[in-house]
């Protein structure tokens, strides 16, 4: 009897405590003056503004629509609690936005979150002395920083890259050493095709030993494991090494190898969908995920994929929403919940599938796609297509939108393929997380002439990066390798010219008309 009374009292106290916490949270949400600027994501790479958007990179949340994530929420006590505060402001008056209610809200991981500084190590190029600097990151993975890896950059300087291994190279082929027969065969194919272009500045020569090479290339099948790679006698901490398409070594997750326990050291990598907090600008060569969708023969025959005619839909998004902890799933959720607010002309189409697996604090029964518009029809009839990430900051949708002739809309932390050598500023539309909710209004205000110019540039960049519209996955990866090699040629030759003080000669740069197979 006494035990029963104690249990009853404990339950009552717990209930009252939960009620008090909820009330306190609501008071904090509605009565504390929030510094909105603190929520604006800080990027670490110098990506210049893609377009003069209505609100610009410095978000003025006193007008338009915006959503702020409340990381201090006690939503774990309430499974259907919405951690987002979304509003629309007009003439100084702000009103909360009413969500659609299709997918249940869920939380995201905020440990070591977007506004938490992390430490990485910068090395003096010539003395190897270390100086600690602070930078910002987005998804909370700090393994790269914890390994005290040097801050490698596009200057190709010590300790990351030893240019003396490349002398003399000006006007001569760059000497490369491939690890393994698979990458060697791919390199042979690419080098033969580059030679056929007649561009002598893009010539490479394979050598038989690591000591002779300027650039040592790791590819699929080169090593059985990361430990086998780092145990190689010529690894030297990754100096002068380039790991092409690293998923075979580090796994397929979007931001690997940066969030793995493997120290890839000073080697340059080609990660899929890495965000701007991790990519070493001018040193790594970020890759896109390849397009899974293939255009039908009728679209290829009619050249529909590159048509600049006005399309039926202004903006679209179709995708799965997993209630996982990665940040990008929330961007999909916002589009699903709030883009239906003003769609009088049926120019905006959103179709989502609500799913839940692990980290499943608020799972509903899976809600399937409506399939009102088939995916192929959606791609070929969309002017703009939202391309949020999933497990990383990118998705297959980015390449598929380009392949279909649509203009991709990406979040501000997304680093486009082969940045910075390939300039995407006249193609992509970039928005911050805060303004994902306002993408319909943003693209609606873009003039038709600008849209047509961006469609043309997007089609040109697709051919540069991916190849022909009907290319197979193998051909696309071959084109990736070709572009990567040409970029390395540009980087090495420019670094040599600067080091040798050849100031009277113009530095090499990327010319899209000359550099695709």
CA distance 410 to 312: 21
Decide if pLDDT at 345 tops 70. Answer: yes
CA distance 36 to 516: 44
Weakest-pLDDT range from 111-125, 172-186, 237-251: 111-125
In Å, what is the CA distance from 383 to each residue of 52, 282, 320?
A: 19, 31, 21
CA distance 454 to 388: 19
Under the banding of pLDDT at 50, 70 and 90, the label for residue 46 is very low
Instruction: Please state at what angle helix 473-499 crosses helix 181-197, rounded to 10 degrees.
Output: 70
Q: At 74, phi and psi to the nearest 5?
A: -100, 35
Q: What is the average per-residue pLDDT within 147-161?
A: 80
* Residue 234 CB coordination number (10 Å): 14
Decide if pLDDT at 294 tops 90. Answer: yes
C-alpha of 496 from chain center: 30
Q: Mean pLDDT of all residues in the chain?
A: 76
pLDDT at residue 387, as a whole number: 96
C-alpha of 20 from chain center: 41
- The candidate with the shortest Cα–Cα distance to 470, out of 345, 254, 293, is 293
Under the banding of pLDDT at 50, 70 and 90, the label for residue 299 is confident
Weakest-pLDDT range from 106-110, 460-464, 500-504: 500-504
Weakest-pLDDT range from 23-32, 92-101, 351-360: 23-32
pLDDT at residue 111, as a whole number: 46
3-state secondary structure of 189: helix
Rg from Cα positions in the chain: 25
Q: What is the average per-residue pLDDT within 198-227?
A: 87
Greater model confidence, 72 or 91: 91
Which segment, 188-192, 298-302, 495-499, is predicted with the most confidence on average?
188-192
Decide if pLDDT at 38 tops 80. Answer: no
Under the banding of pLDDT at 50, 70 and 90, the label for residue 61 is confident
Decide if pLDDT at 84 tops 70. Answer: yes
The predicted model scores a pTM of 0.81
Under the banding of pLDDT at 50, 70 and 90, the label for residue 200 is low
Is the peptide bond preceding residue 163 cis, with omega within 30 degrees of 0? Answer: no
Q: What share of the chain is helix, strand, coil (3-state, %, to 5)?
A: 35, 15, 50
**Both tokens assigned to 315:** 């903006």
The domains located in the chain, with CATH, are 39-58+100-139+289-471 (3.40.50), 140-274+474-499 (no CATH)
Decide if pLDDT at 114 tops 50. Answer: no
pLDDT at residue 188, as a whole number: 93
CA dihedral 209, 212, 218, 219 (to 10 degrees): -70
C-alpha of 255 from chain center: 8
3-state secondary structure of 1: coil
């Amino acid at each position: 009897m006494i035990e029963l009374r104690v249990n009853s009292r404990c339950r009552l106290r717990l209930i009252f405590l939960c009620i008090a916490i909820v009330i306190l949270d609501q008071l904090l949400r509605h009565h504390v003056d929030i510094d909105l600027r603190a929520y604006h994501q800080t990027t670490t790479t110098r990506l210049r503004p893609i377009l003069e958007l209505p609100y610009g990179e410095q978000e003025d949340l006193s007008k338009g629509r915006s959503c702020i994530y409340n990381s201090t929420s006690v939503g774990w006590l309430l499974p259907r609690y919405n951690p987002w505060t979304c509003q629309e402001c007009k003439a100084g008056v702000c009103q909360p936005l009413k969500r659609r209610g299709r997918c249940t809200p869920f939380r995201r991981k905020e440990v070591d979150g977007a506004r938490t500084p992390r430490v990485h190590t910068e090395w003096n190029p010539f003395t190897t002395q270390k100086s600690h600097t602070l930078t910002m990151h987005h998804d909370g993975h700090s393994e790269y920083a914890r390994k005290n890896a040097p801050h490698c950059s596009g200057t190709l300087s010590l300790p990351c890259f030893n240019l003396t291994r490349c002398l003399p190279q000006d006007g001569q082929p760059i000497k490369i050493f491939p690890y393994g027969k698979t990458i060697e065969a791919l390199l042979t194919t690419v080098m033969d095709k580059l030679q056929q272009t007649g561009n002598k500045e893009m010539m490479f020569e394979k050598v038989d030993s690591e000591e002779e090479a300027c650039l040592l290339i790791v590819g699929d099948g080169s090593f059985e494991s990361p430990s086998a790679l780092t145990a190689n006698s010529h690894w030297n901490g990754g100096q002068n090494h380039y790991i092409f398409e690293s998923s075979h070594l580090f796994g397929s997750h979007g931001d690997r190898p940066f969030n793995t326990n493997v120290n890839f050291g000073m080697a340059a990598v080609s990660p899929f969908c890495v965000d701007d907090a991790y990519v070493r600008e001018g040193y790594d060569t970020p890759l896109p995920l390849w397009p899974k969708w293939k255009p039908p023969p009728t679209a290829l025959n009619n050249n529909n994929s590159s048509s600049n005619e006005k399309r039926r839909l202004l903006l679209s998004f179709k995708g799965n929403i997993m209630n996982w902890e990665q940040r990008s799933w929330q961007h999909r959720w916002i589009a699903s919940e709030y883009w239906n607010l003003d769609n009088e002309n049926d120019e905006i189409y959103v179709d989502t599938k609500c799913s839940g697996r692990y980290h499943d604090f608020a799972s509903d029964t899976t809600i399937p796609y409506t399939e009102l518009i088939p995916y192929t029809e959606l791609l070929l009839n969309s002017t703009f297509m939202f391309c949020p990430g999933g497990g990383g900051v990118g998705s297959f949708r980015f390449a598929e939108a380009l392949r279909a002739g649509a203009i991709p809309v990406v979040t501000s932390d997304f680093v486009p393929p082969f940045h910075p050598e390939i300039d995407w500023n006249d193609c992509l539309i970039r928005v911050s997380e805060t303004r994902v909710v306002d993408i319909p209004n943003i693209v609606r205000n873009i003039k038709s002439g600008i849209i047509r110019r961006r469609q043309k540039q997007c089609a040109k960049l697709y051919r540069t990066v991916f190849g022909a519209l009907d290319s197979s996955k193998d051909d696309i990866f071959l084109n990736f390798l070709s572009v990567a090699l040409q970029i390395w040629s540009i980087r090495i030759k420019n670094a040599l010219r600067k080091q040798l003080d050849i100031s009277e000669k113009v530095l090499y740069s990327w010319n899209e008309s000359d550099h695709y197979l």
